[in-house]
Amino acid sequence: MALVLTDALPPETPLRAAIRDAHRRDEAAVDAELLAAADMPADSQARIATTARRLVAAVRRERQGSGGIDAFLHEFALSSPEGVALMCLAEALLRIPDADTVDRLIRDKLASADWQRHLGHSGSLFVNASTWALLLTGRLLRRDAGEADLAAALRRLVARSSEPLWRQAVTAAMRILAGQFIIGRTIEEALRRAHTAEREGYRHSYDMLGEAARTMADAARYRAAYSRAIAALGRAAAGRAIEQAPGISVKLSALHPRYEMAQRERVMRELLPSLLGLAGEARQAGIGLTLDAEEADRLELSLDLIEALALAPELAGWNGLGLAVQAYQKRALPLIDWLADVARHGGRRLMVRLVKGAYWDSEIKRAQERGLDTYPVFTRKVATDVSYLACAKRLFAAGPVFYPQFATHNAHTLAAVRELAGDRRDWEFQRLHGMGEALYAEVVPPARMGRPCRIYAPVGSHADLLAYLVRRLLENGANTSFVNRLVDEKAPVEDIIADPVARLARLPAKPHPKIPLPRDLYRPARVNSRGLDLADPRALGELRDGFGAAMRRDWRAAPIVGGAEEAGADAPVFDPSDRRRQIGAVVDADPASVEAALARAARAAPAWDRVSAEERAAILERAADRYEEHRAALIALIVREGGRTIPAALSEVRE
């Protein structure tokens, strides 16, 4: 990642400052504020519990014979070897270019799993059919060294002779699994498949599957796909109000290969006009366009784009602009305040999809790898649930500037949102295609809650699905997932509908005690090297100032022997990226300096041998502290003298 330090950083308005403050704040302090913001009267809590209990009972009652991914994820949870095997296959199968490696992967992951123990456990025809296929394939592939009978020999023969056949069979099985997550391969197919759900009262937001663009050609292809989909959705909308019409969800990283804070000027120059064009097409078609939430690193940049769209004169009067807010980020609550202010300034309403978040694992790991001061997300799942409720209250409190959309598969969360809404009608629920079907069967029909629900409906080929599929499996296949526990008859109802506010308040330690801060990752042995959040405008501003000060210095390097600098002729040192730019000067060591240094080292060796390991370690740690203290200057020198990028220079200082 290249990084250019300029003055063109996002503005530090009071509301943007609050977002940045929350990003850096201690998690326990944020938790305390959320507990106060999400608290509800006792009578509301009682009604929420009653509704949630009824929803769970209804879902469990209808579970037998129902199917889809909910049942599949419960049967093959990520805590089981079979679930891990499926996860590996789903993530890796189509990434492997050669047939031989595919064969070995399938043999390794399927042959060693105990598929038979899952057979008949589920009431879902989909799950049992999948288990039969995996059981058969697993038996064909297993090598039972202890068996010398004819059956074992035949199994080995089949395994050797029919590998192309079972490779195709497993690939086809993964495509069937993928088909549970995507609504269609094309927007036309998706619209046809959506007819049944629409007749039942559902709406849809279509996501043209695809991960981050790597080239401008990728971005152009994704943009063309979005444009075609918008046209098709406009025809399908048939003049319906935006709230009732189908909509489209757009991933900004798919529209530009350098969608990152490091390239803010380029993104605003190249991506913003493209995005304005798509929004204009959506306005013309009479549909909504929602910007999907992505990794925490991209939030600041997305706010610049959202503000530009919300204030664009050419989009005046259009209330279809939407975005997703991730409740698992510590800055979610001040983000909603900022969005309300933008909407008021733009004189329009924003559609806000409140989600819990789908990148938790990678956000935690990335912060640890980078040695950041804190995490951008909550380390406890229950804190995310509390944040969601606090955000829901804030969305309703903002009044008509928002059309709130609540994406959840959690019965307690769903019941709490319904309670918070009161008599207000201009809002909706959302769920993922293929998931939460039994839960929302208790919500959408007029004879039940009679509340609209929009289905987030991915569209694309199996090859485009893999990253999305893996996120869904990680998010909903874990033991702590509500989706998993909802259909687990062994999980007590009272436990899974427990009020998250009360649960978080009772915890003695609000941040998770087993997830130390990145700085403390290796304690007590040592502290982690301090990193720098290169997506944080404040950090970039501080780095820019330090970089400038370092470049104004007259740098000079010379041999130092016995604490004294050796004399010699200066030779200029130039920046390898621009040979016209002199960085400083260097004095080369002559043979006499080398001999003097070696002689002093030899005389000092006996005394150094007597220095204990603890004292030597302390010296190294003091040196490391000095490196961190002068980090900006060292980064500047590495960039200018070595021709490295800023992220690479930062990594070198940390190393």
Bridge partners of 476? none
Q: What CA–CA distance (Å, rounded) separates 541 from 535? A: 11
Task: Kindly report the number of other CB atoms within 10 A of residue 106's CB atom.
Answer: 24
Give the residue carrying structure tokens 């929009």.
454
What's residue 526's pLDDT?
A: 86
In contact, 202 and 453? CB cutoff 8 Å: yes
Flag whether pLDDT at 1 surpasses 60: no
Transcribe 470-503 into DSSP letters. Answer: HHHHHHHHSTT-HHHHHT-TTS-HHHHT--HHHH
What's residue 332's pLDDT?
A: 98
C-alpha R_g of the chain = 29
- Three-class DSSP labels, 442-477: CCCCCCCCCCCEEEEEEECCHHHHHHHHHHHHHHHH
Flag whether pLDDT at 326 surpasses 50: yes
For 508, the 3-state DSSP assignment is coil
Token code pair at residue 654: 């940390």
Flag whether pLDDT at 69 surpasses 70: no
Q: Using CB atoms within 10 A of its CB, is residue 175 exposed (0-12), middle (13-18) or buried (19+)?
A: middle
What's residue 624's pLDDT?
A: 93
Residue 374: which of 19, 17, 650, 27 has the closest Cα? 27
Bridge partners of 573? 584
Give CA 595 to chain center in angstroms: 56
Exposure class string for 514-525: b at 16+ Cβ within 10 A, else e:
eeebbbeeeeee
Q: What CA–CA distance (Å, rounded) separates 625 from 260? A: 30
What's residue 152's pLDDT?
A: 47
CA-angle at 221, arms to 217 and 223, nearest 5°: 115
What's residue 570's pLDDT?
A: 92
> Regarding predicted confidence, which is higher, 464 or 401?
401
Flag whether pLDDT at 18 surpasses 50: yes
Task: Kindly report the number of other CB atoms within 10 A of residue 616's CB atom.
Answer: 11
In contact, 255 and 212? CB cutoff 8 Å: no
Q: What CA–CA distance (Å, rounded) separates 289 from 317? A: 14
Residue 273: which of 316, 317, 223 has the closest Cα? 223
Q: How confident is the model at residue 315 (pLDDT cuts 50, 70, 90)?
A: very high
In contact, 140 and 166? CB cutoff 8 Å: yes
> Regarding predicted confidence, which is higher, 591 or 472?
591
What's residue 151's pLDDT?
A: 41
What's residue 267's pLDDT?
A: 94
Residue 257: which of 321, 210, 309, 324 has the closest Cα? 210
DSSP at 286: T
Q: What is the mean pLDDT of residues 428-457?
A: 93
In contact, 264 and 10? CB cutoff 8 Å: yes
DSSP at 358: S
Task: Give the whole-number percent of the chain exceeding pLDDT 90.
Answer: 64
Handedness of CA 232, 237, 242, 247 (dihedral sign): negative
What's residue 150's pLDDT?
A: 37
Give the residue carrying structure tokens 């080239």.
215
pLDDT in tens, 219-254: 999 999 999 999 999 999 999 999 999 999 999 999
Give the residue carrying structure tokens 């915890």.
507
DSSP H stretches of helix in 200-348? 216-237, 264-285, 299-310, 332-346
> Regarding predicted confidence, which is higher, 349 or 78?
349
Task: Kindly report the number of other CB atoms within 10 A of residue 267's CB atom.
Answer: 22
pLDDT in tens, 102-159: 667 666 655 555 655 665 566 554 555 555 444 444 444 444 444 444 344 434 434 5
Token code pair at residue 369: 């790898």
For 304, the 3-state DSSP assignment is helix
Distances (CA, A) of 226 to 221, 231, 281, 503: 9, 9, 10, 43
What's residue 73's pLDDT?
A: 59
Alpha-carbon dihedral 374, 377, 383, 384, rounded to 10 degrees? 170
Residue 530: which of 369, 329, 295 has the closest Cα? 369
Give the residue carrying structure tokens 């022997």.
561
Average pLDDT for the chain: 85
Distances (CA, A) of 297 to 215, 249, 533, 540, 595: 20, 20, 8, 13, 51
In contact, 248 and 205? CB cutoff 8 Å: yes
Q: What CA–CA distance (Å, rounded) separates 349 from 549? A: 45
Whole-prediction pTM: 0.85
Q: What CA–CA distance (Å, rounded) separates 9 from 301? A: 10
Q: What is the mean pLDDT of residues 626-636?
A: 94
Transcribe 414-426 into DSSP letters. Answer: HHHHHHHHTT--S
Residue 355 φ/ψ region, left for φ over 0, alpha for ψ in the -120 to 50 degree band, beta for the rest: beta
Q: What CA–CA distance (Å, rounded) separates 52 from 37? A: 21
Q: What CA–CA distance (Å, rounded) separates 352 from 330? A: 17
DSSP at 76: T
Q: What CA–CA distance (Å, rounded) separates 172 from 23? A: 44
Task: Kindly report the number of other CB atoms within 10 A of residue 11's CB atom.
Answer: 9
Handedness of CA 60, 126, 201, 237 (dihedral sign): positive
